[in-house]
């Protein structure tokens, strides 16, 4: 047994994590101790090159928000409203002429950059110069389940490890008391928990779902009457589990279960303070539109995301709503107004708060959806699914703010400049986090897998 194992490994990790994690000595101590105990998730990993961002806040707006009614202004579409053009439905055999549908919302240019933003996002319009609007995204499948999987895992057919799980595996965390990958989701999206699963990666890298409310993590506060006795019992249990695991080194689920106990213990110490939004000032809460006592709104989730990042969580995902009552506006595009009102102030407040605290220099924010909406309508009010062109956002560390990348035609139907596949979007996010997407691989079932499969190019034009 090595000398590092003879020491109290976990006590060492907890003490080391309280030091300045950026220090070289602390980094090597954490890495050595964690590897000695096979606790990869607590070891901050070396990146392929210096990262522009150390944390990712990934905001997923479920249902497919319309690029044509949010960030991709098409005056010609409004001018030709009602004009029949060759169109298609969800399947190729549904091709027929359908009338164009102009946006019911007004657009204006904002900021020094002059970015076009719809009236339904007045608060995001106020931070237009922080936004990089990618107007040329495209994906492969036009059904919700598969397209949501693709945006999260890079695969639209077979569930694979999620973006957050890959980042946990590739980067680890500097705070062993909190999960490396946290998912704030009141409701599950299409494809359910598969969107934050680790799949064939070690199970310890799967996302930990937090449900907004008065008790986001059930049974978090310890009922133990004597903490010293409780800690002693836990140490004895850990030793038994360690001996059991060493005899079964091939059992990743066993190791993950043990690590879950470790993280749960850390959560009991640290999470109550982390989740306590009452510690925030009224001025900060006002940025997000969060009243005192509010622990369920999307604004409160965005504020919690900042607090998690502040405490070292590597990836925080926010899922705005589930597979019902979302952005899937088949019947009436006017529904977008209410959906936007729920997230607009919170997202703008998050960006302003990250800048206020200095976290914007090390945090990447991605705001995305699974696909866009058609320029035409089959009922004169709503839009159908559209995979050939849609819009998503990037902001924060390493990203050029106040720019629009890519271009669609005058109706928003065809990408005419700088197409960006979902694989390219993922490759760019990994690049900003210091990872070469072609080198972050995991051997499984006889082949090397990666988030971007055999595709993907970094969109260097959006890098600052």
Report the b/e string of 379-415 with b at 16+ CB within 10 A: eeebbbbbbbbbbbbbbbbbbebbbbbbbbeebbbeb
- pLDDT, position 404: 98
DSSP helix/strand/coil, 445 = coil
Q: What is the pLDDT of residues 168-223, one digit of tens each?
A: 999 998 888 899 999 999 999 999 999 999 999 998 899 999 999 888 877 666 66
- Residue ranges of alpha helices (H) inside 100-210 are 122-125, 144-153, 163-171
Task: Say how far apart CA 145 and CA 153 lie, in whole Å.
Answer: 12
Tokens 């096979």: give the residue. Answer: 38
Do both 393 and 289 map to the same domain? Answer: yes
Do both 8 and 70 map to the same domain? Answer: no
Q: What is the pLDDT of residues 87-146, one digit of tens each?
A: 976 666 678 899 999 999 999 999 999 999 999 999 999 999 999 999 999 999 999 999
C-alpha gyration radius of the chain = 23
Do both 59 and 3 map to the same domain? Answer: no
* Total structural domains within the chain: 2
Residue 23 falls inside a structural domain: yes
Q: What is the pLDDT of residues 394-410, one digit of tens each?
A: 999 999 999 999 999 99
Do both 316 and 181 map to the same domain? Answer: yes
- pLDDT, position 291: 96
Tokens 């946290």: give the residue. Answer: 182
Do both 323 and 178 map to the same domain? Answer: yes
- pLDDT, position 226: 52
CATH number at residue 430: 3.40.720.10
Which residues, at least 6 apart from 65, have a Cβ–Cβ distance to it below 8 Å?
327, 336, 339, 369, 372, 373
DSSP helix/strand/coil, 183 = strand
Do both 31 and 125 map to the same domain? Answer: no
Q: Give the domain range for residue 3.
A: 1-37
Determine whether 96 is exposed, middle or buried from the number of CB atoms within 10 Å of its CB (0-12, 13-18, 19+). Answer: exposed
Do both 432 and 290 map to the same domain? Answer: yes
Residue 119 falls inside a structural domain: yes
Do both 375 and 442 map to the same domain? Answer: yes
Residue 258 falls inside a structural domain: no
Do both 136 and 6 map to the same domain? Answer: no
Of the chain, the percentage scoring pLDDT greater than 90 comes to 72
Report the b/e string of 99-131 with b at 16+ CB within 10 A: bbbbbbbebeebbebebbbbebbbbbbbbbebb
Q: In order along the chain (464 residues), what is the average pLDDT of each group of 10 residues?
A: 38 40 44 46 77 98 98 98 87 82 98 98 98 98 96 96 97 89 97 96 93 79 58 67 72 65 66 90 97 95 98 97 96 97 98 98 98 95 96 98 98 97 98 98 95 97 97
């Amino acid at each position: 047994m090595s000398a590092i194992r003879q020491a109290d490994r976990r006590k060492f990790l907890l003490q080391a994590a309280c030091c300045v994690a950026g220090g070289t000595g602390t980094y090597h101590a954490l890495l050595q101790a964690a590897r000695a105990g096979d606790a990869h998730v607590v070891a901050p990993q070396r990146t392929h090159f210096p990262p522009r961002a150390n944390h990712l806040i990934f905001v997923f707006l479920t249902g497919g928000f319309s690029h044509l009614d949010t960030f991709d202004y098409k005056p010609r579409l409004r001018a030709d409203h009602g004009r029949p053009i060759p169109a298609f439905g969800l399947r190729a055999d549904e091709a027929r002429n359908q009338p164009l549908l102009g946006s019911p919302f007004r657009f204006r240019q904002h900021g020094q950059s002059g970015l076009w933003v719809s009236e339904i996002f007045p608060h995001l319009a106020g931070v237009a110069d922080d936004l990089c609007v990618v107007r040329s995204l495209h994906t492969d499948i036009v059904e919700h389940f598969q397209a949501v999987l693709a945006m999260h895992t890079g695969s639209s057919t077979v569930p694979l490890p999620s973006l957050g799980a890959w980042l946990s595996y590739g980067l680890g965390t500097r705070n062993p008391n909190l999960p490396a990958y946290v998912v704030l989701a009141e409701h599950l999206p299409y494809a359910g928990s598969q969107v934050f699963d680790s799949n064939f990666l070690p199970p310890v890298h799967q996302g930990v779902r937090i449900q907004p409310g008065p008790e986001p993590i059930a049974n978090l506060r310890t009922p133990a009457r004597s903490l010293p006795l409780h800690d002693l019992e836990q140490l004895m249990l850990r030793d038994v589990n360690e001996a059991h695991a060493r005899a079964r080194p091939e059992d990743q689920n066993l190791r993950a279960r043990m690590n879950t106990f470790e993280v749960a213990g850390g959560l009991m110490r640290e999470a109550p303070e982390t989740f306590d939004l009452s510690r925030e000032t009224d001025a900060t809460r006002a940025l997000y539109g969060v009243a005192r006592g509010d622990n369920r709104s999307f604004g409160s989730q965005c504020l919690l995301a900042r607090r998690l990042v502040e405490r070292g969580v590597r990836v925080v995902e926010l899922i705005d709503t589930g597979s019902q009552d979302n952005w899937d506006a088949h019947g009436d595009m006017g529904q977008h107004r209410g959906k936007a009102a729920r997230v607009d102030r919170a997202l703008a407040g998050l960006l302003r708060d990250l800048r206020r605290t200095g976290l914007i220099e090390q945090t990447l924010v991605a705001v995305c959806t699974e696909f866009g909406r058609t320029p035409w309508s089959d009922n004169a009010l709503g839009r159908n699914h559209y995979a050939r062109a849609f819009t998503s956002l990037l902001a924060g560390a390493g990203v050029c703010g106040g720019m629009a990348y890519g271009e669609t035609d005058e109706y928003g139907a065809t990408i005419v400049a700088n197409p960006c596949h979902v694989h390219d979007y993922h490759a760019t996010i990994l690049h900003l986090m210091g990872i070469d997407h072609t080198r972050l691989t995991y051997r499984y079932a006889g082949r090397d897998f990666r988030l971007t499969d055999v595709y993907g190019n970094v969109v260097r034009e959006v890098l600052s």
